[in-house]
Structure 1
C-alpha cells in the first residue's frame, strides 16, 4: 500500500499524543506495525473506549480533528461514535507505521429497514509484514474486537466468543462490497456493508455532520451508548438498557431517566460532570417531542 504525502489524504498522526493514547487503552510492549500489534490495538480500543453520542444530545458539535478527539476520548476518558473512534484509530495506526485507508459503510438495523445512507466509517489496514489487508472497525459498538482479513471466505469467525461472517462480493450495480454479519438473539443479521472506495478525513467530516445534525439520524434524538466485552455487550438506547451475550441470549429493561448518569458511569465507563449529568436528565430530548 503506497503512503500518500499530501496532508489531505493522511490522518494527522503527527498531532497525536501517542503515549497518552496507549496508556488510555492499556497497551504495552512492541509498537512495530505487525499483525500482532494490530490485533492487540483493536482489542484494547474496542473494549476500553465506549461508543456514545452524548455530545450531540448535550448540544455540542462533534469535532474530528485529532487534538479534539484525543482531548475528549483520551484525556476526558469519554467515548465517541464511528467517525470519532475510527478517525482517532487511523491516526494511531498511521503514527505507528501501518498503512491506513478509510472506507465508507452502511448500517443495517434490521432485516427489512431498506437502504440507509453510507454513514458508517471503517478502516482497511496493511501491516509491514506482508501484503494482506485487514478490516478494522473500532467504532461500531459491538465489535469485532479483532481485525478481520479481507479475503474471500465462506467460514464463520468466532472472536472472543462472538460470531461473525464476512462476505465479499458485488452489489446490484456491480460495485465491490463487503458485508459483515453478526450472530445475535435474532440469528444471523447483516449489520453493515462497506465498499472499497477510499474515504478521506473530509469525507468523514461530511458523514459525521449528517449523523450529528439530521433529524433523520437516531443520534440526534436520544442518548445512545455501547460497551463491548468478550463476555457481554451493553447497549443503552434512550431509557432502554439491552444486555446481550455471545450465545445469542440477552435481556432488556427500561431504566429511570434520573439513573442515566450512574448507569453511564458503572456500565459504560462514561463519567459526566455535574452540569452535563443534570442537562442529560432534565432537558427534553428531540425524541420526547416526536409522535
Structure 2
C-alpha cells in the first residue's frame, strides 16, 4: 500500500541516523516493538517539520521517490503527508502492518476543524500503536499505545495519553503545565495514500489552509521543542514555559540552519527571504 518496495531503505536509515550512539543499527531490522520505537524516535529527532515548498508556491508530491528525493537525499523536512508517508513506506518495507488515519486538529480551542492531519496506526503482535512523525513540535517522539486508553506514556520529559470518545473516536493528549490538552482526534476509518493526495491538495493550495502564505517550521526533538510560524520563534519547555523571539528576514536563514538543521539552495533561500520580507 505504501510503496515500501520503492524506498531506498539504507539511505533512509542513514538519513535518520538509525542506531547512532545506541547500537540498535547493528541488530537485524524486524517488525517488532523495539525496532518500531527505534525507527520512530530516530525519524522525529532527525527530520524537521516544514512547509517551505508550500511557502514558495511549489506543489507537494507524495509518491515515494519524490519524498525520498526531498527528505532523504535532499535532507529537507516536510509536513504530515510527506513525513508519515515516508515513515509508512519504511515500516512497510521492514515488514510492519501499517494503516492510515485522518485526524482533526484540536489545538485551536473549541473550533471544529476539518480532517486534515495524517497519522499512522501500526499493529505489532496484534496490538495497535499510534505512530506520527508529522505533527510538528507538539507531536509524540515515539509510538503511543492505542489498546490502553487513558494510560500515561512518558517520552523523556514529555507525557502523552490517548482517551476514547463516542463512536470509537480516539484523542491524543499531551500534558502541559499539569493539564492534559487535546492535540487531535481520529476515527477508526482507514485512510489510504490516495486520500492523503486530496488532503495534501487542500493543505498546500487552499487560501484557508494554515500552511499557505507563511513559513511554518517546527521540531519536537530534544528537551526543548521549537516552532517558527511566520516571524515568531517559540521554544516550548516541558514545564509549560515558552520563550519567544521575532525573526526578521535577515535572520531567517540562520534560524532555519541553527534551530532546525535546514539549508536551502542559494536560489530557494533568496526567494524565501524575499517572501518573508514582503510580509512587512
Short-chain TM bin: over 0.9
Task: Give the C-alpha shift of residue 83 in structure 1.
Answer: 0.5
CA distance in 1, matches of 2:90, 2:276: 37
Aligned counterparts of 1:200 and 1:154: Cα–Cα separation in 2 = 27
1:154-173 matches, within 5 Å, as: 154-170=150-166
Q: Deviations over 1:224-273 (max 9, x none)?
A: 00112230100000110000111211211111122111100111011011
1:115 aligns with 2:112: yes
SS at match of 1:139: coil
- 1:220 equivalent in structure 2: 212
Post-superposition shift, 1:111? 2.1
* Deviation string, structure 1 residues 4-56 (Cα, Å, up to 9, x no partner): xxxxxx00011100000000011113211100000001101011100000001
Structure 1: distance between partners of 2:188 and 2:176:
26
Larger CA deviation: 241-250 vs 97-106: 241-250
Contact 2:103 2:187 in 1 (8 A): yes
RMSD over aligned Cα, in angstroms? 1.6
2:139 match:
143
Q: How many Å separate the matches in 1 of 2:191 and 2:229? A: 29
CA contact (8 A) 2:70 2:76 kept: yes
Q: 1:101 aligns with which of 83, 99, 123?
A: 99
Residue of structure 1 in register with 2:22 after alignment: none
Q: Among residues 65, 68, 92, which one is paired with 2:63 in the alignment? A: 65
CA contact (8 A) 1:105 1:119 kept: yes
Q: CA deviation at 1:284?
A: 6.1
Partner of 1:56: 54
> Is 1:178 aligned to residue 170 of structure 2?
yes
Contact 1:42 1:138 in 2 (8 A): yes
User: Conserved in 1, the CA contact under 8 Å of 2:177 and 2:238?
Assistant: no
Number of aligned residues: 272
- 5+ residue gaps, structure 2, are 19-24
CA positional deviation for 1:160 = 1.4
- In the alignment, which of 182, 187, 190 is matched to residue 195 of structure 1? 187
Verify the 8 A CA contact 2:249 2:276 in the aligned structure 1.
Answer: no
Q: 1:247, 1:196 → 2: CA distance?
A: 32
The answer on whether the counterparts of 1:162 and 1:247 sit within 8 Å (CA) in structure 2 is no
The gaps in structure 1 that reach 5 residues or longer are 1-9
Distance change in 2, residues 1:148/1:177 (3 Å): same
Counterpart contact for 1:14–1:95, Cα < 8 Å: yes
| Aligned counterparts of 1:270 and 1:68: Cα–Cα separation in 2 | 18
CA offset at residue 283 of structure 1?
A: 2.7
1:21 to 12, 32, 35: 12
Deviation at 1:186, TM superposition (A): 8.9
Look up the match of 1:256: 248
